[in-house]
Amino acid sequence: MEFELIEILQQRIAVTRADVRLGIGDDAAILAPPPGHELVVTTDTLVAGVHFPDATHARDLGWKALAVNLSDLAAMGATPAWALLALTLPDADRTFVEHFADGFGELAAQHRVALVGGDTTRGPLSVTVVVHGFVQPGRALRRDGSRVGDQVFVTGSLGDAAAALRCLDRRDPQAASVFNAPTDTREALLARLQRPTPRIAAGAALRDVATACIDVSDGLLADLGHIAARSGVGIEVDAVDLPASSALLAVFDADQRLALQAAGGDDYELAFTAPAARASDVLRDLASLGSGATRIGRVVDGHGVRLLDPDGSELVLHRRGWNHFA
């Protein structure tokens, strides 16, 4: 049975690459990184009921398991190449694995990622993916390069995934506003949660210009906090400048929106810093790649991340939204 499932994965995640000397089927894979490059490696696990709702469709799960890993490579500015997949399944459900493989395979094909091995075991549903990418020596994007005077940017828009999570949580009183929204608005929000877009092209474009970069998985302010800590700087974010999708604008008022944009996770956009003199290059280059980017703040002396109102006063999150600090 296990062999049959592996065959389904192999057939439906069908990217082939010349640098895979030996793929699925032996005790281990043999891979040939391009000469003179550094290998960038990362892994992420998704556990049912913890990282995704139990009712998540297998196709979306397959996509997301690869997407969250590719997002980490994007944040490093790396070009993806190979993946390993450790799949733990409650039972040998052929249909589940077919759908899972289709979702995983669709994204793998987009980025030419070859599935080169993995493990298949029985147990509570959980998915671990390892991805490998390449970067020229010393050119990977890191969290520790922000300098005072840099500006802060984010790709795409923020808050949609957190809004969709609300929509799925029927106990959340604010979910009603999502339920009452037009179908295409609801679908647009859900797609951001279930099928996040790893910003691979944006990450590659940023290799020449960003001083630090991270993907937004825990929430913008929390993730910028990692850049601030690693770089030994402070970061100020202008609340009014946070980018919102038209779907988010249609459903939430300004206060609810800000909570979702600043603290909601799962967007998998890239948050990064770059020298002020390069700001127009950044905005132009990322606009041409489709993801777009928005300037949202600046790097300052000090530590931590502060969210600011237009009048310069600090906003802090309370149980019912954002209030002035004082």
Site for Mg ion, rule CB under 5 A: 119
Q: How far is the CB of 132 from ligand ADP (least distance, A)?
A: 14
Residue corresponding to tokens 């980490």: 72
Phi and psi, residue 256, nearest 5°? -65, -40
Residue 322 pairs in a beta bridge with: 317
> By CB under 6 A, is residue 9 in contact with ligand ADP?
yes
**108 in contact with ligand ADP (CB under 6 A):** no
Interaction between residue 87 and ligand ADP (CB under 6 A): yes
Residue range at the interface with ligand ADP (CB under 6 A); choices 23-31, 266-274, 291-299, 311-319 = 23-31
Surface-to-core class of residue 310, CB atoms within 10 Å of its CB (0-12 exposed, 13-18 middle, 19+ buried) = exposed
Does residue 97 belong to the site contacting ligand ADP (CB under 6 A)?
no
119 binds ligand ADP per the rule CB under 6 A: yes
**Minimal distance, residue 123 CB to ligand ADP, in Å:** 13
118 binding ligand ADP? (CB under 6 A): yes
Amino acid identity of residue 289, one-letter, is L
| Residue type at 105 in one-letter notation | G
Nearest to 270 by CA among 222, 211, 219, 203: 203
Least CB distance from residue 26 to Mg ion, whole Å? 11
Task: Return the bridge partners of 212, or none.
Answer: 273
Is 120 an interacting residue with respect to ligand ADP (CB under 6 A)?
yes
What DSSP character marks residue 16? -
Residue 27 or 54 with smaller CB distance to Mg ion: 27
Looking at the Cβ atoms of 121 and 323, the one nearer to Mg ion is 121
Give CA–CA dist 85/15, Å, rounded: 14
Q: Which does 301 bind (CB under 5 to 8 A by kind): Mg ion, ligand ADP, none?
A: none
Instruction: Return the bridge partners of 128, or none.
Output: 45, 86
Residues contributing to the site for ligand ADP (CB under 6 A): 6, 9, 24-27, 85, 87, 115, 117-120
